[in-house]
Structure 1
Amino acid sequence: MSLIMTYIGSKGCVMAGDKRSIGFLGDKSQRELLEEDLYSGKIKTDEKLLQRAGELDIHLKIVDDGEKVRNLDKVLVGEVKVRATHETNRKRIYATTNGYHQVELTGSEIKNVKSGQSSIVIFGNKITKEIAGKQLKKHWKSKISLKEVGKIFKKVMEDVAKTTPSVSPQYDIFIIHPQMDHKQAMELLRTTIISDVKELEKWRNKLKEEMLSQQRDIQMANRIITHGEVGRVKKVEGDKVEVILSEGVEALNMDWNVLAKSGDTIIMKIEEPTSLSLGDLVVIEEENLCIKKNKTPLSCNIILCKSN
């Protein structure tokens, strides 16, 4: 999915990118058949795409809110990416007046860089690049302003979107015209790429931490006791009940840190005064913490979990 077009000239730079993203869920071999039909141009409308997906038992998630092109003041950035099982491969173009770099990344590591001074660069699948190339040749002029380039890019985006569902009718377009020569452009692009890739690395690390945290939360939540023995009454004083934790039970705080282990004593509160005996069994039944013999409710501000 994607169509990104970039014009790099001596007066400025124009970049346009569609906003479509399609997720394919289903059998791998069937997904590959659907992708082949889509990228070869056999499927020309959203309706035909959904119909073919249904025939192959593939579930599609189609969204048109992607940000594939960005304006970093004096530099425009376009990106297409392919998610593999364990990593994301990215292809980016950084462009400004009189210069551009095409950068290939695996994760946040730069694998390849290709540079130039003036050009028209198209990112996309086979069919989108083919259609866009033909349309650009059709509308292009020998002498052309940045404003006219923008109008042509808009027309090409709309025409391609009518021909293949791999591109959305929605798109972003930017025009910049900073004044600089090729040497200045290369230095600006170099520093911009270094900064941008560092930001990508920070974002990836943060995302990784969040995913690990979520994974831990899920793992810990699965250990929370929703039914069974918790401990036995050790002492009762007013509304406070001391409970010795049973074997295989531990108490944690809201950050999943262990506060008490099996055999340790924790404090619970009894909601209504009642007669309790030492050794009474404390349980969780139907997710309610109580005394087993008479269902007297108890409460505590900790999490009761199964031990590792």
Structure 2
Amino acid sequence: MTLVIAFIGEQGAVMAGDMREIAFQGDDSCIDELERELYSGLIASDDDLKERAAEFGVTIRVRDDKAKVSEQNGVLIGEVTETGESEIHRRRLYATRGSYAITEVIDSRLRVTQRGRASNFVVLGNDITKQIASQCIERAWEGGTVPDAMRVVMLTMQIAASVTASVSRTFMLVHTDLAANLSDAIDKDSRE
């Protein structure tokens, strides 16, 4: 699980997601400990990640080309994935001008867990990325326009990439000025 952050405003919405995907192979208890260190912020750089993985005897495969955010007919969609022992747990954020919804996908079943209105930042990620996003929003957001929010979102992505190896230095940024129907987008995804 890495980082997707969005701002939902009255005039539009913006969303960014990093592009990192890390696959782990090895002893489950060693993977769990490595992931705990990574997602809590103890592993800051790619070199540190490689070094700690070797110390744990865990093989890692890192790729920085996974698109986690997209725009479909005025709806911004971001997804983070967490792989457990026997299941893949996905959280999706749907955002459009004026509203958002968060869903969970467990065993191919999509369930809405939260809905909200405009003037909100929403963050999906691990402990360290949520903490970084909270600090960036608190320090840099003084209210304003969607472009102002876009600057806070980009700042958050850049700082997160410099502090934790769980986030890639590259990220995708999408935005919309439309007020699309979130329920239609969610219903479409639940059928797929």
Q: Is contact 1:5–1:121 with CA below 8 Å preserved after alignment?
A: yes
In structure 2, how many angstroms separate the alpha carbons of the residues matched to 1:197 and 1:106? 11
Letter in 2 for 1:190: S
Q: Is contact 1:17–1:173 with CA below 8 Å preserved after alignment?
A: yes
Selected match of 1:195 from 177, 184, 188: 188
2:94 counterpart residue number: 94
**Cα drift, residue 50 of structure 1:** 0.5
When you count helix as a share of all residues, which structure comes out higher?
2
Q: Is contact 1:161–1:167 with CA below 8 Å preserved after alignment?
A: yes
Q: How many residue pairs end up in the alignment?
A: 191
1:127 counterpart residue number: 128
In structure 2, how many angstroms separate the alpha carbons of the residues matched to 1:56 and 1:89? 25
Aligned 1:1-308 pairs, distance under 5 A: 1-118=1-118, 119-142=120-143, 144-178=144-178, 180=179, 188-199=181-192
The normalised TM-score by structure 2 is: 0.94
The normalised TM-score by structure 1 is: 0.60
Q: Is contact 2:101–2:112 with CA below 8 Å preserved after alignment?
A: no
1:219 counterpart residue number: none
Letter in 1 for 2:136: Q
Where 2:95 maps in the other structure, the secondary structure is strand
Letter in 2 for 1:159: I
In structure 2, how many angstroms separate the alpha carbons of the residues matched to 1:89 and 1:83? 6
Where 2:186 maps in the other structure, the secondary structure is helix
Q: Is contact 2:13–2:97 with CA below 8 Å preserved after alignment?
A: yes
In structure 2, how many angstroms separate the alpha carbons of the residues matched to 1:70 and 1:43? 28
In structure 2, how many angstroms separate the alpha carbons of the residues matched to 1:111 and 1:13? 22
**Cα drift, residue 197 of structure 1:** 2.4
**Cα drift, residue 60 of structure 1:** 0.4
After superposition, the CA RMSD in angstroms is 1.4
Structure 1: state its 5+ residue gaps: 200-308
In structure 1, how many angstroms separate the alpha carbons of the residues matched to 2:36 and 2:188? 37
Where 2:163 maps in the other structure, the secondary structure is coil
In structure 1, how many angstroms separate the alpha carbons of the residues matched to 2:67 and 2:159? 20
In structure 1, how many angstroms separate the alpha carbons of the residues matched to 2:11 and 2:149? 12
Where 1:17 maps in the other structure, the secondary structure is strand
Structure 2: state its 5+ residue gaps: none
Where 2:81 maps in the other structure, the secondary structure is strand
Structure number with higher relative contact order (C-alpha < 8 Å, ≥ 6 residues apart): 2
**Cα drift, residue 36 of structure 1:** 1.4
Percent sequence identity is: 35
Letter in 2 for 1:99: S
After superposition, what is the alpha-carbon deviation per residue over 1:100-144, rounded to whole angstroms, capped at 9, x for unaligned? 1111111321234311112211000001110111012111123x1
1:278 counterpart residue number: none
**Cα drift, residue 85 of structure 1:** 4.7
Q: Is contact 1:146–1:175 with CA below 8 Å preserved after alignment?
A: no
Letter in 1 for 2:76: L
**Cα drift, residue 165 of structure 1:** 0.3
